[in-house]
Structure 1
Amino acid sequence: MEDTIDYTLDLFSDPDLWGNESFSFNASAANTSFVPVMPPVINKSVNLILIIVLTITMVSMGCTMEVAKIKDHILKPKGVLIAVISQYGVMPLTAFCLAKVFQLTEIPAVIVLICGCCPGGTLSNILALAMQGDMNLSIVMTSCSTLLALGMMPLLLYIYSQGYANLQDLVPYMDIMKSLVMILVPCGIGILLNYYRPQYSKIITRSGIIMLLLAVVVVCALVTVGVGGSILNVLAPRLMAVSSLMPLIGYSFGYIISSLFRLAQKERRTVAMETGCQNVQLCVTILKLAFPQELIGPLFLFPFVFGVMQIIEAVVLIVLFRSHQYFTRNKKETYKPTETEEKPEKSSDVAV
């Protein structure tokens, strides 16, 4: 274990990691023994809250999935297939390329890759609704990408980790698989509840959203107290650049790919939102459960930064779309009265 700790300390104190920035670990000059980034009590509390909230969130997400609608899209799978290819093709490749372009070392690179390989979350459904997308496709795409994550996440991580010399040994495949199984079971329970007891689905879904919002506040408060100034390490310029570019590239390529396959406009907007929007709470939970604290440090907070950026960029896109829609509608409305005025004149001429 000492070798791991020594390697970790060297990794986070390396000035080449972020350029001139460096990680400030609480280790004395005389003794290289590791002092946790967060106190054990706060760390355990954050882990427990993340597990509970993610379980409730996945149950509530399962309650939005209807077996009949899933079956319809399976029988006509064109939209879902394109959406899944965009989700698991664009985002992992984007994460890998950005990690290479910004020359991230092993630990930050694997965290960015895990974030890129995550499926779409419930937030993507809300964003698709705001973009007036195809909600059936959005929900089915979230369902399929979540279920496929059990096989796709480890596979994609294995493929892309080959691009780094030491990354294969740092990816905890079994722990990620355990986390995914633990997460997919509540989702399955939600689907069954919605099928057999649909009257409770809306209550569970609303409760899940409220719990998620409260948990975000509580976790942020605990992490701020526990991590302190180390949280600034996650806001290093290279990671900020990666977290800004990833969702924007996902939104753009999701729309472009669905346009190439000639999907309807509503479906294109849906695929765009689903591609660029990752399941942040899933990513945070995997990072907290699968990696030891002495190895990952405060970097488990990266998905939060990514989540904020994907929301900001999605809101900008929604505002642009709504503005375009508003001005287009106004043009049509100003054009219609001239048509209605011409019609009575023609009818009167005929009468004469």
Structure 2
Amino acid sequence: MRANCSSSSACPANSSEEELTVGPETHGSLELVFTVVSAVMMGLLMFSLGCSVDIRKLWLHIRRPWGIAVGLLCQFGLMPLTAYLLAISFSLKPVHAIAVLIMGCCPGGTISNIFTFWVDGDMDLSISMTACSTVAALGMMPLCLYLYTWSWDLAQNLTIPYQNIGITLVCLTIPVTFGIYVNYRWPKQSKIILKVGAVVGGVLLLVVTVAGVVLAKGSWNSDTTLLTISFIFPLIGHVTGFLLALLTHQSWQRCRTISLETGAQNIQMCITMLQLSFTAEHLVQMFNFPLAYGLFQLVDGVLIVAAYQIYKRRLKNRPRKRNPDCAEVCHDKNSRETSAFLEVNEEAAGTPAPSGPADHHRALEPISHIVSCE
């Protein structure tokens, strides 16, 4: 980052005045381009995902917000508690523990909406949960951080990125609102937009991951403890979110949605809060955790989507099993109908053919019974 580079004497860009004037400006320009491009792509993505939202179902979630309530409980109940327990269990340093806790207190990220679409989840619930958790973060983030850090001796106060929360909410609601309107007015065209958005979402995930790692490569270190936590933290969120949704008798579709929403955190909000609250010296030690968390939550999401798609294909290709009781009844019925059919044929062999369509239909009745049982 430019701020870190200009304040550090060990930074390679500080070796000469020429490098000092060119390097950070170029790096800052890359960051600006990356931010603008990712914001535009995210807006288009949320617009396309909004085309899958039914206004009636969305209003039903708002009127009866049981799924949203379970998601908020997972987001600001389970995740901060999990972050606190992980920090205590691994005996993290205060500067590392606070980074883990801030990540646990962040609202859900828009990456969960992409994964929810790929696992045939409830898109209406996913988008409403993301929006509601972002709004709730205005009050729940300070409350959770205060409750879990009141016994810690922090050298400086934490700054809640209210502006970043507001920007995230605007970038989420406006494109989704346009997408809902398009789905309401032109449902056929919205399906095409939705398919294109799914492809754009995959490209966006790849671009954001690669560009984020390249732009912040100086912040990585070899702390295996933080890497381990960043790997298991989103997994715990997915599992506990699914179990809590299951215990509250949510449908399987909602369970998948709440699970993905719980484990996927808003990485950008965590990074912004760290930048506003800590010095460049501390950021060098803290930046690797949100970056690693973002990478592993992407990997976990891709694995969940792949597992679901494999299960879906096997379920579709699996032959249907017959009921044993029905099989016995059908077998007895087939035997009786077959014998009756043979008797009819024997009688028909010594008599003229059926004189009319009615007689022909009666002669074929046993066959229709056999076919219907099959």
Does the TM-score normalized on the shorter chain lie above 0.5?
yes
Kindly state the Cα deviation for residue 68 of structure 1 after the two structures are TM-superposed: 4.2
Give 1:263's match in structure 2, choosing from 218, 237, 250. Answer: 250
Give 2:293's match in structure 1, choosing from 306, 318, 329. Answer: 306
Larger deviation: 213-222 or 76-85? 213-222
Kindly state the Cα deviation for residue 48 of structure 1 after the two structures are TM-superposed: 2.6
Taking only aligned residues, the RMSD between alpha carbons, in angstroms, comes to 3.8
Q: Deviations over 1:94-120 (max 9, x none)?
A: 112111222222322222122112222
Say whether the 8 Å CA contact 2:95–2:285 is kept in structure 1.
no
Match of 1:293 in 2: 280
Q: Does 1:172 align with 2:166?
A: no
Structure having the higher Rg: 2
Alignment of 1:273-352 (within 5 A): 273-288=260-275, 291-297=278-284, 299-321=286-308, 333=320, 335=322, 343=330, 346-347=333-334, 349-350=336-337, 352=340
Match of 1:116 in 2: 104
Say whether the 8 Å CA contact 2:237–2:259 is kept in structure 1.
yes
Structure 2: gaps spanning 5 or more residues: 12-19, 341-374
Give 1:193's match in structure 2, choosing from 160, 171, 178. Answer: 178
Counterparts of 2:281 and 2:27 in 1: how far apart (Å)? 12
Say whether the 8 Å CA contact 1:244–1:306 is kept in structure 2.
yes
Higher RCO, Cα 8 Å, sep 6+: 1
Q: What SS is found at the alignment partner of 1:159?
A: helix
Match of 1:48 in 2: 32
Match of 2:166 in 1: 181
Q: What SS is found at the alignment partner of 2:108?
A: coil
Report percent identity of matched pairs. Answer: 32
Alignment of 1:1-352 (within 5 A): 26=10, 40-41=24-25, 44-45=28-29, 47-49=31-33, 51-53=35-37, 55-56=39-40, 59-60=43-44, 62-63=46-47, 64-65=49-50, 66=53, 68-166=56-154, 169-173=156-160, 176-194=161-179, 202=193, 209=201, 210=203, 213-224=206-217, 227=218, 231=220, 233=221, 235-288=222-275, 291-297=278-284, 299-321=286-308, 333=320, 335=322, 343=330, 346-347=333-334, 349-350=336-337, 352=340
Kindly state the Cα deviation for residue 250 of structure 1 after the two structures are TM-superposed: 0.7
Q: Structure 1 residues 253 and 55, CA, compared in 2 at 3 Å: closer, same or farther? A: same
Kindly state the Cα deviation for residue 74 of structure 1 after the two structures are TM-superposed: 0.9
When normalised by structure 1's length, the TM-score is 0.73
Opposite residue 222 of structure 1, the aligned amino acid is L
When normalised by structure 2's length, the TM-score is 0.69
Kindly state the Cα deviation for residue 239 of structure 1 after the two structures are TM-superposed: 0.2
Structure 1: gaps spanning 5 or more residues: 10-24, 28-35
Q: Deviations over 1:11-66 (max 9, x none)?
A: xxxxxxxxxxxxxx939xxxxxxxx9xx6336534653464255435534653345
Q: Structure 1 residues 104 and 61, CA, compared in 2 at 3 Å: closer, same or farther? A: farther
Say whether the 8 Å CA contact 1:51–1:285 is kept in structure 2.
no
Kindly state the Cα deviation for residue 296 of structure 1 after the two structures are TM-superposed: 0.8
Opposite residue 183 of structure 1, the aligned amino acid is T
Kindly state the Cα deviation for residue 129 of structure 1 after the two structures are TM-superposed: 3.2
Match of 1:15 in 2: none
Q: Deviations over 1:145-199 (max 9, x none)?
A: 22322322233223222242116x24123xx112212322222332443355667
Opposite residue 26 of structure 1, the aligned amino acid is A
Counterparts of 1:148 and 1:190 in 2: how far apart (Å)? 20
Match of 1:12 in 2: none
Kindly state the Cα deviation for residue 75 of structure 1 after the two structures are TM-superposed: 0.9
